[in-house]
Amino acid sequence: MIALLPVRGIPIIQPGDDLPTILQQQLAALAPKSGDILVVTSKIISKAEGRFVNLRDIPPSAQAVELGIKTQKDPRLVELILRESIEISRYAPTVLITRHKLGFVSANAGIDHSNTAVDPDIVLLLPSNPDAYAKQLREYFSTQLGVDLGIIIADSHGRPHRWGTMGVAVGVAGLPGVEDWRGRPDLFGFKLQHTEIALADMVASAATLVLGQAAEGIPAVLVRGVIHSQRDGNAAEIYRPAAKDLYK
């Protein structure tokens, strides 16, 4: 059985906060075990890293102004999206989808207004290196708690051809990002030929049911009972290369 255990009592994170220690203190009540997976929202990591940007400090380029008119978006925000992106994937009124510098495709380069600040001009960028931060957390908990936890840094993304956002992994350590099931037999003995499981995304999505998207105030979830191979993966392995991306 898989259990989703909310990590309660985490305060509103401020720039410079010692997030690993804060998480460790609140995890104690859940008695974490080796093999558990800690899912942490990207937002509290971004806040701890001070990834806030004031749009009043962002002068828009001519490209951002033109694209802002086409997308009906604030040209300052568009400028910031362009700075955080490798290329533009799609745009339309109210929509701007890009390939982020980290490698994934998402709306607005993952830049967020929600649960960020009272000032509407303050936005939050994604963590600078979520895979590296996940590895750092894993090593910290191993040293401090003596347990081997999988770590997932989760964000919310939309998907082509489907309404609604869902939790996805943007940082991974201690478990595969993608688990290869090719060669496994099905119920009738046929071996799977093309099945690769987006394991980290599936766990992130399940945890998001507890993390929520609004005022839930639960930025971390301990997931217990997920069976997976012991390969240590990362989120980068989940991202489809641009050359193989039919929707880029």
Looking at the predicted structure, is the pLDDT value of residue 10 above 80? yes
Distance between CA 169 and CA 218 in Å, rounded? Answer: 17
In 3D space, the residue among 217, 173, 176 whose CA is nearest the CA of residue 197 turns out to be 176
The whole-number average pLDDT for the span 94-118 is 90
- What is the architecture, at CATH level 2, of domain 3-51+127-242? 2-Layer Sandwich (3.30)
Q: How confident is the model at residue 58 (pLDDT cuts 50, 70, 90)?
A: very high
Rounded distance, CA 57 to CA 107, Å?
22
Determine the average pLDDT of the residues in 139-143. Answer: 96
- Tell me the percentage of the chain whose pLDDT exceeds 90: 75
Q: Residue 40's beta-bridge partner residues?
A: 153, 220
Domain 53-123 has CATH 3.40.50.150: no
Helices (H), 108-246: 130-145, 199-211
8 Å CB contact between 108 and 81: yes
Question: Which residues, other chains included, contact 61 with Cβ-Cβ below 8 Å and sequence gap of 6+?
Answer: 79, 82
E-strand spans in 117-194? 122-124, 150-159, 162-173, 179-180
Residue ranges, CATH 3.30.1330.100, the chain? 3-51+127-242
Percent residues over pLDDT 70 in the chain: 91
Higher-confidence residue of 66 and 231: namely: 66
**What is the pLDDT at residue 246?**
73
Q: Where in the chain is the domain with CATH 3.90.1660.10?
A: 53-123
Kind and range of the H or E run holding 40: strand 37-41
Identify the H or E element spanning 48: helix 42-48
Name the pLDDT band for 186 (thresholds 50, 70, 90): low
Total residues found in the chain within this entry: 248
Instruction: Check pLDDT > 60 for residue 153.
Output: yes
- The one-character DSSP state at 185 is B
Task: Look up residue 28 and give its two tokens.
Answer: 């104690």
Residue 196 has a pLDDT of 75
What is the pLDDT confidence band of residue 60, given thresholds at 50, 70 and 90? Answer: very high
